[in-house]
Amino acid sequence: MTDPVTDPVTGPEAAPVTGAPASLDVSGLAFAYPDGHQALFGVDFSVARGERVALLGPNGAGKTTLVLHLNGILTGGTGTVTVAGLPVDKRNMAEIRRRVGIVFQDPDDQLFMPTVREDVAFGPAAAGVKGAELEARVDRALALVGMAEFKDRPPHHLSFGQRRRVAVATVLAMEPEILVLDEPSSNLDPASRRELADILRSLDVTVLMVTHDLPYALELCPRALILSDGVIAADGPTAELLSDDALMRAHRLELPFGFDPRSVATGG
């Protein structure tokens, strides 16, 4: 993780750390739900170590389905997923789940324990971390998201933005290889949104961010993928994709009124 991720305009070609296996490699992934609805039709992409990549796409494009394949929660389709060289299959499941940290969209789903501390401790404790080391991990993760003083509060007494930050901490406590965020900015007020962006930028970890929030993607991720109708329709520097009007229209992606990616792109 020595990659200079601090440079926001680093392109996909420049980012990979040579020698290290890609953090994430997905090839030929197809999947249908038991009710017959097919969500993925052959997805291929790769994320190098230290990259921050946005996964964009309209509603129903299969984004969430794809995310659930990354740590082997959904399997049974065709194609392969590897995380830092380790294929996602039954044998490696425990290790894969430690390496891939998913922050789900609804923090209420993620925070299922009675107190913040127990929730953050859940992942490392399940992996066998105990005692002082466990406490240290919890403190470290909470400090990273600025929630240290809320340690003993029940999650439902926190604001939505705070719950989202604790949700990020629950995953960081597991010291993952790659952080996968599902709609991290949804339902956040502008201040919470900015605070979360600052936190994400400060982390030294590979990030895959699934979002509809195009300015947020541009702000945080140098590279973007567009998932549309269950396949990767485009892959390139975020600013370029967002500036391609025809591409954007074809995949039902719209920038907020008055937002011009060309004017902010170089500023990151």
Partner 1 sequence: MGAGHAHRLYRHGHSPVHGLPPHTKLAAAFAFVVVVVSTPREAMWAFGVYALLLAAVAYAARVPPGFLLKRLLIEVPFVAFAVLMPFVAEGERVDVLGLSLSVNGLWGAWNVLAKGTLGVAASVILASTTELRELLLGLQRLKLPPLLVQIASFMIRYGDVIADEMRRMRIARESRGFEARGVRHWGVLAKSAGALFIRSYERGERVHLAMVSRGYAGSMPVIDEVTADRAQWSYALALPCAALVVCLLGWTL
Partner 2 sequence: MHVPDGFINAPTSAVTGVVAAGAIAVSLRGARRELGGTSRASEAERGGERTAPLAGLVAAFIFAVQMLNFPVAAGTSGHLLGGALAAILVGPYTGVLCVSVVLLMQGILFADGGLTALGVNITDMAIVTTVVAYALFRGLVKLLPRSRRSVTVASFVAALVSVPAAALAFTVLYWIGGTTDVAIGKVATAMIGVHVLIGIGEAVITALTVGAVIAVRPDLVYGARGLRQRLKLRVNGELVDAPGASGPQPAPVAARSHRKVWITGLVASLVLAGFVSFYASANPDGLEKVAADKGIDEKAEDHAAADSPLADYGVKDISDARISGGLAGVIGVGVTVVAGSAVFWAVRRRRSDDASPASTETTV
| Binding residues vs partner 2 (CB under 8 A) | 30-36, 38, 41-42, 68, 72-78, 90, 93, 112
CB of 268 within 8 A of CB of 219? yes
10 or 105, CB closer to partner 1? 105
- Least Cβ distance, residue 245 to partner 1 (angstroms): 36
Q: Measured from the CB atom, is 14 or 127 closer to partner 1?
A: 127
CA 177 to CA 99: how far, in whole Å? 5
154 binds, among partner 2, partner 1, none (CB under 5 to 8 A by kind): partner 1
Q: Does 244 bind partner 1 (CB under 8 A)?
A: no
Question: Residue 86 binds which entry of partner 2, partner 1, none, with Cβ cut-offs from 5 to 8 Å by kind?
Answer: none
In whole angstroms, the minimum distance from the beta carbon of 74 to partner 2 comes to 6
Q: Residue 128 and residue 136: Cα distance in Å, rounded?
A: 14
Partner whose binding site includes residue 38, from partner 2, partner 1, none (CB under 5 to 8 Å by kind): partner 2
* CB-based burial label for 34 (10 Å; 0-12, 13-18, 19+): exposed
Residue closer to partner 2, measured from CB, 33 or 259: 33
Residue 174 interacting with partner 1 (CB under 8 A)? yes
Name the minimum Å distance from CB 261 to partner 2. Answer: 33
* Cα–Cα nearest to 83, from 195, 186, 176: 176
Q: Can you tell me the distance from the alpha carbon of 219 to that of 268, in angstroms, rounded to the nearest whole number?
A: 5
**The binder of partner 1 chosen from 118, 175, 240, 244 (CB under 8 A):** 118
32 part of the interface to partner 1, by CB under 8 A = no
Neighbours of 174 (CB within 10 A): 22
Q: Pattern 140-169, binding to partner 1, x per CB under 8 A?
A: --------------x-x-------------
Report residue 248 as tokens: 């954007």
Query: Which of residues 123, 222, 230, 261 is near partner 1 by CB under 8 A?
Result: 123
Nearer to partner 2, 42 or 236 (CB): 42
What tokens were used for 8? Answer: 């926001």
Q: Please report whether residue 98 would count as binding partner 1 according to CB under 8 A.
A: yes
Judged by CB under 8 A, does residue 125 bind partner 1? yes
| 31 is a site residue for partner 1 (CB under 8 A) | no
Q: Which CB atom, from 16 or from 124, has the smaller least distance to partner 2? A: 124
Contacting range for partner 1; rule: CB under 8 A; set: 3-11, 103-111, 204-212, 255-263: 103-111
Least distance CB 68 / partner 1 (angstroms): 7
